[in-house]
Structure 1
Amino acid sequence: MINETLACEMEKLKEEILKMGRLLEEQLYKAVKSLVEKNLELAREVIAHDDLIDQMEMDIEKKSLGILALKQPMASDLRLIGTALRIIVDIERMADHAEDIAHLTIDLYDQVYIKPLIDIPRMAAIVQKMLEKALKAFVNHDVNLAMSLIPLEEEIDNLYDQIFRELLSYMMQDPKNIPQATSLLLVAGHIERIGDHATNLAEMVVYLVEGKRIDLNRMARKSRSASKK
């Protein structure tokens, strides 16, 4: 009976993490959409909803610690709880990056963009795919799906470099472009960091299933370097 109750609690824990992750995906989508469409209402919604993510992190942490204290979980369940506690920290930090993008949207609202925003939404779409894969891998304990984030991380890094070079050229062409180009580069940086956190989730899936630590970001960098030779 105790084992059945614990199994039920563990499933609920995974469901809560998935719910938190889905809200994060929505936050990222709305933050970038608000930037592209100059939608202040949407940007303010993202900022307001960040508190929901923070509250979910605290609730899941409390639930996890409660399971540890009251349910006497075995080794595999202990690993799942430890993974859950790390994952929610990464999700909360990703949400902070989405909120920062929303703040930049507000800062840039009155300005005409120096270039069409094409690559930034592309980056966001890839990162959203990374999040979906990482969360699904966590729920299903799917290592192969977790490892599939490596080429997506490479793609994100390549796009960031491309955006950096392009915005740098705008800065060099006209110093008046520097403030806005810097803000857009910050947006790209926030999205790139969300991608890094998504690979952290995938790494935790590998740890959860196989009990070993890996560095997907380093693996992606090696693959990227090899492809350039």
Structure 2
Amino acid sequence: MGIRANFENNLQELKSKITEMGELSVVALERSFTALKAQDVELALKVIEGDTAIDNLEIEINQFSIWIMAKEAPVSRDLREIIGVLKISSEIERVGDFAVNIAKSTIKIGNTISLLDITDLEKMKNISIEMLRKAIQSFLEENILLAKEVGNLEDDVDQYSAETYKKLTTYLSEHPEETNQLVQLLFVNRFLERTADHITNVAESTAFLIKGQIYDFNS
């Protein structure tokens, strides 16, 4: 096998691990929100336990990337691809962390009448998952248009986040007895807003890989 073919095979393995990380993070977000809606503490605990698999994949990607750089001594675009993989894996790991944070908020809320319906949190979660899938697809296909779509979707998350913050703080002023749950839902609102930020960073890293210039989809 030639040197170039060997490098491409190694890079493909890295991309496969990125895809797996992304899929695990999507599952974590879905399950954490399902736990929040159902106030299912047992499911929330499973989300927290499952984060180890995402963390382990990030470690594997980091170690494999370093090994490739040491063995292959890549330059120019090849180096950009490996650096892109490292940055993207770090961002996806943070998405998994936010799913864990949502699960922890679920545990803190406990068993009470849910106030989730007064928020736009589920819409934010759904958009974030769409963003993550598009961001990873953009990376795998090197599709700059998909990367830009991710940036556009983040604006929707930001808008829902602002509206949810207003709804929750207004409700809190009228129902101080619900402080515990409302504060946790405010945290979840922040977690989902930050999730979208990190997914946008994945899209920006992809855009840099494709075009070789820095993009800011948050502006």
TM over 0.5: yes
In percent, how many aligned pairs have the same letter?
32
| Larger CA deviation: 110-119 vs 95-104 | 110-119
| Larger CA deviation: 113-122 vs 160-169 | 113-122
Relative to structure 1, is the Cα distance of residues 104 and 199 closer, same or farther in structure 2, using a 3 angstrom cutoff? same
Work out the CA distance in 2 between the residues paired with 1:151 and 1:95. 22
User: What SS does structure 2 have at the residue aligned with 1:203?
Assistant: helix
Deviation readout 1:35-55 (Å, 9 max, x if unpaired): 001122211111001111111
Contact 1:114 1:177 in 2 (8 A): no
How much has 1:77 moved relative to structure 2?
A: 1.1
| Larger CA deviation: 104-113 vs 140-149 | 104-113
Counterpart of 2:41 in structure 1: which amino acid?
A: L
Residue of structure 2 equivalent to 1:102: 103
Residue of structure 2 equivalent to 1:161: 162
How much has 1:115 moved relative to structure 2?
A: 5.1
Residue of structure 2 equivalent to 1:222: none
Residue of structure 1 equivalent to 2:66: 65
Work out the CA distance in 2 between the residues paired with 1:111 and 1:126. 27
Counterpart of 2:51 in structure 1: which amino acid?
A: D
Deviation readout 1:155-210 (Å, 9 max, x if unpaired): 10110111111111111112212222111010011011000001000000110011
User: What SS does structure 2 have at the residue aligned with 1:194?
Assistant: helix
How much has 1:117 moved relative to structure 2?
A: 5.9
Structure 2: gaps (5+ residues): none
Contact 1:127 1:156 in 2 (8 A): yes
Contact 2:51 2:96 in 1 (8 A): yes
Residue of structure 2 equivalent to 1:23: 24
Q: Which runs of 4+ in 1 moved over 3 A?
A: none
Relative to structure 1, is the Cα distance of residues 54 and 117 closer, same or farther in structure 2, using a 3 angstrom cutoff? farther
Residue of structure 2 equivalent to 1:129: 130
Work out the CA distance in 2 between the residues paired with 1:142 and 1:157. 24
Residue of structure 2 equivalent to 1:179: 180
| Larger CA deviation: 108-117 vs 145-154 | 108-117
Residue of structure 2 equivalent to 1:209: 210
Alignment TM-score, normalising by the size of structure 2: 0.96
How much has 1:146 moved relative to structure 2?
A: 0.1
Deviation readout 1:123-146 (Å, 9 max, x if unpaired): 100000000000000001111110
Counterpart of 1:76 in structure 2: which amino acid?
A: R
1:190 is aligned to 2:191: yes
Contact 1:30 1:46 in 2 (8 A): yes
Counterpart of 1:196 in structure 2: which amino acid?
A: D
Match runs of 1:13-92 below 5 Å: 13-92=14-93
Number of matched pairs: 218
Contact 1:36 1:117 in 2 (8 A): no
Structure 1: gaps (5+ residues): 219-229
How much has 1:118 moved relative to structure 2?
A: 5.4
Counterpart of 2:68 in structure 1: which amino acid?
A: I
